[in-house]
Amino acid sequence: MTTHHHVPRRFLPPYVLERIATQGNDRLRDCARHTLVDDRHFRARAGSTGLPPGSLQPGQPTRYIHSAEQQRTLPGQLVRREGDGASGDPAIDEAYRWLGATYRFFWDVLQRHSIDGQGMALVGTVHYGQDYENAFWDGTQMVFGDGDGELFNRFTIALEVVAHEMTHGVIEREAKLVYAQQPGALNESIADVFGSLVKQYQRGETAEQADWLIGEGLFTERVDGRALRSMAEPGSAYDDPVLGRDPQPRHMEDYVETEADNGGVHINSGIPNHAFYLAAMTLGGHAWEHLGPLWYDTLLDRRLAQESDFTTFAGLTLDNARRRFGATSREPQAVADAWHAVGVLLP
C-alpha cells in the first residue's frame, strides 16, 4: 500500500465534483472541473515549517485567519489574528470562531493544546480560489473555498467542517493513518467523529439531541439533501438530480471496493461512523464525555499502525474501553455491540 501522508485531506469527495462536472449546468460544470483540477495539482506542505508563533499558554489558542482573495496563494493576506474583533466578513469570522470552538473542545475535553499538543498556531485561509467547492487540511493549515453559491455555500458555514479539517491535523501527528482504503476511511471517520463531537459540545447536546450530520448548511436550498454525510443514517444525507445519491454504506456487507476516492475513503467511512453513532445512542448522555475520550485514547494508542484496518481499530476501541471504564462496565459492551451491528466484529 502506498503512503498518502501529505495528500491534502479534502472535505468534499471527488465523486461529488465529478458528478457535478457531468450533470450540472454550464457554470456548475466549470466550477466543479476547476475545483477538480485545483485538487489534483495542489501539493500539500509537510510539517509545520514557516508557521507563525503558536500559543505558549495552555488553554489559549493562537489563531491567524487569512484571505486568499480568490487567488490560490497560501496563506494569503492576514485579515484577523488572535484577539482581534469581528471583521464583518462571514467567512473570516466563522473560520476564527469555529477554529476557536474546535481548540476549546480539544483542550476542555481532552487536554490537548492545539493540533500538535504543544500550542501550534491555528492558521486558516478563506476565499480560496474562484468558486472553489472544497475545504482541506494541507499539512500545516486549514483552507476553505467559497462554494459556487448555487449548490454549495461557503465551506466555513458548518462548524463540523472546520473541526473535521483541524482534526485531520491531529490524526496526522498521532496515527499517520495511510490515506487509502480502510486506513484512509478510518482517517475520514475519526475526523467526522470529532467534527460531530465539537458541534455537540458547542451546542451542549446529548447524543439523542444531536443531528449527527456532517456538513449541515453546506448545501443551498436548491439541493435535495440535509448534509454531505449522516452518521445516524449513512447513505441518506442527500439524493439530488445533480449531486446523485449519498453512496455511504452502514454495514460491511455493503463495503464499496473502488479505486476512486483513494479506495473509497469518503465512502466507506460511513461504517465506522455508524458504529460510533450506535454506541453513543446506546450509552446516551453527552457522547464527548465517554466515547470521545475513548476514541482519542485509540487514536493515541501506539498499537494503531499506519495501515490499520477497521477490525484492528475496533479491537483497540474495545480494549481501551475496558481499560478506561472497567471490563464489566456498560461502555465496552456498547462499543462491542456497535461494531457487531455494522459487521466489523463478529458477535
Question: What is the DSSP code (8-state) at residue 253?
Answer: G
Q: What integer pLDDT is reported at residue 347 of this predicted model?
A: 78
pLDDT tens, residue by residue, 184-229: 999 999 999 999 999 999 999 999 999 999 999 999 999 999 999 9
- Name the DSSP letter for residue 252: G
Structure confidence at residue 93 (pLDDT): 98
Contact between 346 and 298 (Cβ < 8 Å): no
User: Domains of the chain: which residue ranges?
Assistant: 9-174, 181-341
SS (H, E, C) the chain: CCCCCCCCEECCCHHHHHHHHHHCCHHHHHHHHHHHHHHHHCCCCCCCCCCCCCCCCCCCCCEEEEECCCCCCCCCEEEEECCCCCCCCHHHHHHHHHHHHHHHHHHHHHCCCCCCCCCCCEEEEECCCCCCCCEEECCCCEEECCCCCCCECCCCCCHHHHHHHHHHHHHHHHCCCCCCHHHHHHHHHHHHHHHHHHHHHHHCCCCCCCCCEECCCCECCCCCECCCEECCCCCCCEEECCCEECCCCCCHHHCCCCCHHHHHCCCCCHHHHHHHHHHHHHHCCCHHHHHHHHHHHHHHCCCCCCCCCHHHHHHHHHHHHHHHHCCCCHHHHHHHHHHHHCCCCCC
Position 318 scores a pLDDT of 98
Residue of 8, 108, 10 lying closest to 61 (CA atoms): 108
CATH number of the structural domain 9-174: 3.10.170.10
**Which pLDDT does position 49 carry in this prediction?**
52
Amino acid 43: pLDDT = 57
Residues forming beta bridges with residue 239, ordered by sequence position:
245
Instruction: Give the separation between CA 239 and CA 15, rounded to whole angstroms.
Output: 14
Classify each residue of 133-145 as buried b or exposed e, where b means 16 or more C-beta atoms within 10 Å of its C-beta.
bbbbbbbbbbbbb
Tell me what pLDDT residue 48 has.
45
Grid cell for residue 211: 443531528
pLDDT of residue 170: 97
pLDDT of residue 235: 98
Helices 330-341 and 310-325 pack at an angle, to 10 degrees, of 170
pTM of the predicted protein model: 0.95
237 vs 234: CA distance, rounded Å: 7
Give the sign of the dihedral formed by CA 105, CA 208, CA 342, CA 181: negative
User: Tens digit of pLDDT for each residue in 98-134?
Assistant: 999 999 999 999 999 999 999 999 999 999 999 999 9
CA distance 279 to 2: 32
User: CA–CA separation, 146 vs 130, rounded Å?
Assistant: 8
Interacting residues of 313 by C-beta distance below 8 A, sequence separation 6+:
186, 272, 298, 304
Indicate which residues carry an active-site annotation.
165, 266
CATH topology of domain 181-341: Neutral Protease; domain 2 (1.10.390)
Q: What is the pLDDT of residue 81?
A: 97
Whose grid coordinates read 475520514?
188
Query: Mean pLDDT of residues grouped by 10 in the chain (347 residues)?
Result: 58 88 92 85 57 96 97 95 98 98 98 97 96 92 96 97 97 95 98 98 98 97 97 98 97 96 96 98 98 98 97 98 97 98 93
